[in-house]
Structure 1
Amino acid sequence: MVTLHKPVADGFDVERVRCDFPILARPVRGKPLVYLDSAATTQRPRQVVEAMARFFDQENANVHRGVHFLSEKATASYEGARERVRRFLNARESREIVFVRGTTEAINLVAFTFGKQRVGAGDEVLVSAMEHHSNIVPWQMLCEEKGAKLVVAPIDDRGVLLLDELERRIGPRTRLVAVSHVSNALGTVNPVKRVVELAHARGVPVLVDGAQGAPHVPADVQDLGCDFYAFSGHKIYGPTGIGVLYGRAEHLEAMPPWQGGGDMILSVAFEKTIYNQIPYKFEAGTPNMAGAVGLGAALDWLEALPREAAWRHEDEVLAYGTEQLGRIPGLRILGTAPGKAAVLSFVMDDIHPHDIGTVLDREGIAIRTGHHCAQPLMARLGVPATARASLGIYNTTAEIDALAAGLEKVRRMFA
């Protein structure tokens, strides 16, 4: 295990946190694992794995439709996870929480229900230049189908959203604004609350892609005022295959179902089907019950930590990383917005990011290389790809030192 050697946020014991993640103690290619790819997927604490194992060992049955003991237990655990998510997001009601496979499915659900109802020929959907493909492509598909237009709010060279330009682009034909809470490729924390205020002043609803926001910054949907908020379990120390769509109850009630099948109905006849109430109207078929339980356990684990201290710890490790990488000749960090979160994206002279990632892997260091599902952003920055080191609350300054040493090795190899 990598040992912390530089003081960080008071009240946060990162070594104790790391003990909850057995995978962090394993060697990789004969070296200590340095896991710096949490923006792609976080590791899971043992409490999540144990909660899911208990579900399979003690409660496994289908939910909602059974009257036997195991079905009742499974239903209670599944709905308990929904309430856990409600508290995490500070939603008004549990029925505003829809379980989906992840952020991508959540955005597609909104695009092809709520979006189809609102967007017509000549209308506009507004996104930012830093969006993940999952918050671009569904809106493009909708616009192509409806004869509408996708409008892009620009960013500056630091990766900061230009609010004045965004406001100018909210016009009489704007039907929805979709923006990320935190950029997966740059770490920029967008002023979502202000974006919502600007959009709502013109009667335009707002969807927030919270895949990177929920793990790193407060995600209080009532405070943000957004109409929809989406995040994925595997980005926030939970399992894959489970995610959340928060939607205001009035929107969800007015939206048509997206998929048909079991559990999203009240009654079915060949002449007519009557749909279930929210949120079940959007949860067709057998859900990912163990995934929901695991997500609930992840949120329990996360919120048992001193959250403010944990965020300070992440910020201090990020600041240390920015300082250390900034000393490496030929290395340029992309994404320098004030108050950014958890991401160090960079390029090194003429060295391809994949080569950087390959050399680091031989040192036991896991980073991500490529366009990070943000090709339009890469084009705006004038690069085909970057290397990205992304942080979780288990990362340490010693791991940053290992990264910096690995990058010095990269530089020497390609000099």
Structure 2
Amino acid sequence: MTVPATNGASSNGNGHVDDHASAAGFSTKAIHVGSEPNAATGAVIPPISLSSTFAQDGIGNHKGYEYSRSGNPNRDSFERALAALEGGSRGLAFSSGSAVTATVLNSMPSGSHIVSVNDVYGGTYRYFTKVATVSQGIQTTFVEMDGAEADVSERVNAAIRKETSLVWIETPTNPTLRVVDIPLIVKLVRNHPNASKDIKIVVDNTFMSPWFQNPLAHGADLVMHSVTKYLNGHSDVVMGAAVLNDEAWADRLAFLQNSIGAIPSPFDCWLALRGLKTLALRMKAHGESALAIAQFLEAHPSVETVIYPGLPSHPGHQVARRQITKRAAAAGPTGENGAFAYGGMISFRIKSDPADDGPADKLLSNLNVFTLAESLGGVESLIELPSKMTHGSVALEDRIKIGIGHNLIRVSVGIEETADLIKDLERGIKAAGL
């Protein structure tokens, strides 16, 4: 089967997706959008276009591409495919997730104000507090966006100002996996008496991928990803991406994409497009194994708390159930007492002093299947200590507020045999002497 070519199939379409592609199922889009058979050779996999420049038949008379920073066939293919999966009309690819963050903030006026979820990725926190505030005079208010609706409403409403131009959501958050009710935040922002009509709502969907969650369908203006993680899925690419339906804002971001130049290489785009083709299968496997491991950890006497939104014990369990896509919910698996697969990320606290990193260090140093490493979303299982690794850039007082002590461990569950992963965690916990 061939999904009809979109606007960018034979020219630089800046990541446009048309209605023909949006009508297909998830995996059909993942496999066919952006991978239309090559017109010249019939190849079913797009060739890698490494050329930095493109010939013109006359001045301004080209085949859609002029210079690879401005547009490249491989980047265009990936952008269209991801936009189709997220239900957006425009996709834009960048050299990293952090480059997406920087470009989005560069599209905001100087002196703007941002309202951000407080438990945000460390790199995002760093950019908000140490880069944007210096280069653009942007100020950020960090708000706890999970919990009882009345409490969330009070906190968010109090944080929004007339100069607020952006609301930044990450759900589930990193690394404490708090679940933010996207439709609630959208409603609060849209109905706030002081909110500008131009205020934008961004959702970082890296942890969930479009298989489990589609923020645009819940009213967000832009969804972003660290493509490095689940979208590519093989720990061999560093990339970022944004998807949106706002044509004017998309044009502005595309202008900045070209002007700033933080664009991915053609080969990285080719690899990421390859990764998308198996996204549904991988996310099902990640979720199935993560649920089983979360249930194992929850029953372990040396584990204080397991943080996995698919477990009924998670305070955001019901919000997670409402926000998960119907396809992911139908694909399962489900466990006892209403537990369900909700991505491949787990965080858990061992029964040790949050100020003492010794027990966690012993645990993490005695694993054979899990790899001690930052990042997430690959086919291999990774494990790390956020307090000293991914969130080391977050101020100590802020880490304490959001519960990132030395006893909090973050796990990215890969697609190895679940039984092997559980045995490995048993080995590590025993070695820690807990």
Q: TM-score, normalised by structure 2?
A: 0.63
Question: What's the offset of the Cα at 1:105?
Answer: 0.7
In the alignment, residue 86 of structure 2 is paired with which amino acid? Answer: L
In the alignment, residue 159 of structure 2 is paired with which amino acid? Answer: R
User: Mean Cα displacement is larger for which, 374-383 or 171-180?
Assistant: 374-383
Structure with greater proportional helix content: 1
2:364 matches 1:347? no
- Taking only the aligned residue pairs, the percentage that are identical comes to 13
The change in CA–CA distance for 1:66 and 1:190 in structure 2 (over 3 A counts) is farther
Give the match's secondary structure for 2:348: strand
Question: What's the offset of the Cα at 1:358?
Answer: 0.6
Question: What's the offset of the Cα at 1:177?
Answer: 0.8
Give the match's secondary structure for 1:297: helix
Question: What's the offset of the Cα at 1:155?
Answer: 5.5
The change in CA–CA distance for 1:128 and 1:78 in structure 2 (over 3 A counts) is closer
How many positions carry a matched residue from both structures?
Answer: 321
User: Which of 206, 209, 216 is matched with 1:211 structurally?
Assistant: 206
2:399 matches 1:406? no
Question: What's the offset of the Cα at 1:165?
Answer: 1.9
Is the CA contact (8 Å cut-off) linking 1:81 and 1:292 kept in structure 2?
yes
In the alignment, residue 298 of structure 1 is paired with which amino acid? Answer: G
Match of 1:291 in 2: 268
> In 2, distance between residues paired with 1:132 and 1:363?
22
Is the CA contact (8 Å cut-off) linking 1:324 and 1:404 kept in structure 2?
no
Is the CA contact (8 Å cut-off) linking 2:92 and 2:241 kept in structure 1?
yes
In the alignment, residue 398 of structure 1 is paired with which amino acid? Answer: A
2:124 matches 1:138? no
Is the CA contact (8 Å cut-off) linking 1:91 and 1:220 kept in structure 2?
no
Is the CA contact (8 Å cut-off) linking 2:176 and 2:404 kept in structure 1?
no
1:23-51 Cα offsets, whole Å, 9 max, x none, are xxxxxxxxxxxxxxxxxxxxxxxxxxxxx
The change in CA–CA distance for 1:255 and 1:329 in structure 2 (over 3 A counts) is closer
Match of 2:278 in 1: 301
1:106-147 Cα offsets, whole Å, 9 max, x none, are 001111x212x2x42xx5311111101232222223234455
Is the CA contact (8 Å cut-off) linking 1:126 and 1:152 kept in structure 2?
yes
Question: What's the offset of the Cα at 1:325?
Answer: 1.3
Match of 1:245 in 2: 242
Give the match's secondary structure for 1:136: helix
Match of 2:140 in 1: 150
Question: What's the offset of the Cα at 1:288?
Answer: 0.6
Is the CA contact (8 Å cut-off) linking 1:103 and 1:211 kept in structure 2?
no
1:315-350 Cα offsets, whole Å, 9 max, x none, are 443333222212333322253342464322223224
Is the CA contact (8 Å cut-off) linking 2:349 and 2:409 kept in structure 1?
yes
User: Which of 170, 184, 187 is matched with 2:160 structurally?
Assistant: 170
Match of 1:367 in 2: 383
User: Which of 107, 114, 132 is matched with 1:114 structurally?
Assistant: 107
Is the CA contact (8 Å cut-off) linking 1:188 and 1:341 kept in structure 2?
no
In the alignment, residue 399 of structure 1 is paired with which amino acid? Answer: D
Equivalence map 1:5-404=2 (5 Å): 59-62=48-51, 65-66=54-55, 75-92=72-89, 96-111=90-105, 113-115=106-108, 117=109, 119-120=110-111, 123-140=112-129, 141-154=131-144, 162-201=152-191, 202=195, 203=197, 204-214=199-209, 217-219=212-214, 221=216, 223-238=217-232, 239-247=236-244, 248-254=246-252, 257-258=255-256, 281-282=258-259, 284=261, 287-303=264-280, 305=281, 311=284, 314-333=286-305, 335=307, 336=314, 337-338=316-317, 339=320, 341-348=343-350, 349-350=352-353, 351-361=358-368, 366-371=382-387, 373-374=390-391, 375=394, 378-385=399-406, 386-392=408-414, 394-404=415-425
> In 1, distance between residues paired with 2:385 and 2:278?
30
Is the CA contact (8 Å cut-off) linking 1:176 and 1:205 kept in structure 2?
yes
Question: What's the offset of the Cα at 1:87?
Answer: 0.9
> In 2, distance between residues paired with 1:366 and 1:136?
22
Is the CA contact (8 Å cut-off) linking 1:135 and 1:179 kept in structure 2?
no
> In 1, distance between residues paired with 2:211 and 2:431?
30
> In 2, distance between residues paired with 1:124 and 1:58?
43
Is the CA contact (8 Å cut-off) linking 2:50 and 2:267 kept in structure 1?
no
Match of 1:22 in 2: none
> In 1, distance between residues paired with 2:46 and 2:164?
50
> In 2, distance between residues paired with 1:319 and 1:404?
14
Is the CA contact (8 Å cut-off) linking 1:210 and 1:230 kept in structure 2?
yes
The change in CA–CA distance for 1:282 and 1:245 in structure 2 (over 3 A counts) is farther
Is the CA contact (8 Å cut-off) linking 2:367 and 2:427 kept in structure 1?
yes
> In 2, distance between residues paired with 1:381 and 1:285?
32
Question: What's the offset of the Cα at 1:381?
Answer: 4.0
Is the CA contact (8 Å cut-off) linking 2:167 and 2:201 kept in structure 1?
yes
> In 2, distance between residues paired with 1:363 and 1:182?
22
What is the RMSD computed on CA atoms of the aligned residues? 3.8
Give the match's secondary structure for 1:184: coil
> In 2, distance between residues paired with 1:249 and 1:90?
14
Structure 1 unmatched ranges of 5 or more: 1-53, 259-279
In the alignment, residue 390 of structure 1 is paired with which amino acid? Answer: S
Is the CA contact (8 Å cut-off) linking 1:125 and 1:175 kept in structure 2?
yes
Question: What's the offset of the Cα at 1:78?
Answer: 3.8
1:25-84 Cα offsets, whole Å, 9 max, x none, are xxxxxxxxxxxxxxxxxxxxxxxxxxxxx999964431562369xx98x95444222221
The change in CA–CA distance for 1:57 and 1:326 in structure 2 (over 3 A counts) is closer
The change in CA–CA distance for 1:220 and 1:171 in structure 2 (over 3 A counts) is closer
Give the match's secondary structure for 1:291: helix
